[in-house]
Amino acid sequence: MVATHLAALQQLPLSFLPSLLREIIDYDFKFPAERDAVDRELSSLSSLSPAQIDQQFQAFAKLSLSSKLESFDWINQPSQFLEQQSAHLWSTHQLDAFREAATDYGNRLQLSVPVEKLPVRRLGVAIIGKGVVTYDGRLFRNLRKYGTYFDRVNPDSGLSLILAAAERRAADHSAAYSHWYVDGGQAAEHNTSLTAFSYQSLEPMRAAILKVMQKDIARPGMGPEELRTHLSRLTPSDLGIDNMVDPVLDRFKMKLFTEGSGTQIFATTFAQWATREALRRAQPLTLVVRYAPRQRQRPMNEMLADTRANSEVDPVGSLVDADMASYYHWLNQQRMPAADQSAFLVWFEGHQQALAIAPTLPRNTRSDSAMDLGQLVSLVSS
């Protein structure tokens, strides 16, 4: 791939090129949507004349880099180069200029790519409040002005009905990594048409990463930045994971723990980060996320040292976390193509409260219509 576009790549400034090389190096472990984005970017760069490249990358070329960075092995170690470059730009007061240049480049690239029409309306579903018997607080506070609030939803078999709807969408619009189900606890029964995993199913991987974190924290001079850098460089083989069934998805799962903050110890944080990353990277047509109770807050070292499933959970606190996470779910979905035609549903599991957002539904409205979860999903996604 690099050889095909070598002439264009050789003209790019050093302050920009390693970030693109990092994406190319990981190409084989990217989702189809990410691969398409890399392909389009390289094709766009190769279509530019040398004068056009000079003009479009002028802001990057103006950035001053140190001789240490210029002599760094940025071809083989672009991630490490970018870490050092960030520190250099910050210390030399050039970080704002870099961010402005990167934002302008991203905007130009996005405008150059035609928006493809989706085969079906994008649908996000957040299921919150598992294990909560009663709750007197006001849910969906941040989302109500955007959609319709329902308080007569039949909760019977709600999760099964939602997953059945997701499976029908996967059958009707089959494509790799296009229909997801992420569970913050133990996954419910589902068929293989969904890209699915749960916090419980990843316990061996989570335990292995926690052991690495414990070992690193015990080292003299190890701080948060150094720990994050070490975690980001881990590979599946470092964790003893050599037989990957799906290298793309398995690497994605690993990065949820090595790049996320708090995903290693809080189930709600794991589900929220998985939601963000799935939307950003895979751009699924369907994403069902179920939040489960997380462990209660304890001293950080104590939580990091406990690799077992903790029996002391906080259902109500987890509901509050998940309620806010559902808002972030919708916000991230709104950043995606065809956002004005997308749909979103959040349901208080086991209860009659839900909120739906869709182009066909009124905003900031309460509905007293009685329906089950299957009917509600059909209402927002059709």
Which tokens hold the place of 272? Answer: 């929220």
| CB-count exposure of residue 300 (10 Å: 0-12, 13-18, 19+) | exposed
Question: In this model, does residue 221 exceed pLDDT 80?
Answer: no
- β-pairing verdict for 365-367 and 371-372: unpaired
Q: What is the mean pLDDT of the chain?
A: 92
Give yes or no for a contact between 373 and 347, defined as CB atoms under 8 angstroms apart: yes
- 3-class SS at 236? helix
**CA nearest neighbour of 132 among 313, 315, 303, 257:** 315
d(CA 181, CA 287): 6
pLDDT tens column, 144-197:
999 999 999 999 999 999 999 999 999 999 999 999 999 999 999 999 999 999
Question: In this model, does residue 236 exceed pLDDT 90?
Answer: no
pLDDT of residue 243: 74
d(CA 84, CA 65): 10
The structural domains of the chain, ordered by start, are 6-112 (no CATH), 123-381 (3.40.720)
Which residues are CB-contacts of 43 (< 8 A; sequence separation ≥ 6)? none
The DSSP bridge partners found for residue 354 are 150, 347
Give yes or no for a contact between 286 and 165, defined as CB atoms under 8 angstroms apart: no
| Span 322-344, average pLDDT | 96
pLDDT tens column, 2-59:
999 999 999 999 999 999 999 999 999 999 999 999 999 999 999 999 999 999 999 9
d(CA 295, CA 262): 12
pLDDT more than 90, % of the chain: 79
Q: In terms of DSSP H, where are the helices of 1-117?
A: 6-9, 17-25, 32-46, 50-56, 58-61, 67-70, 78-91, 95-112
pLDDT of residue 307: 52
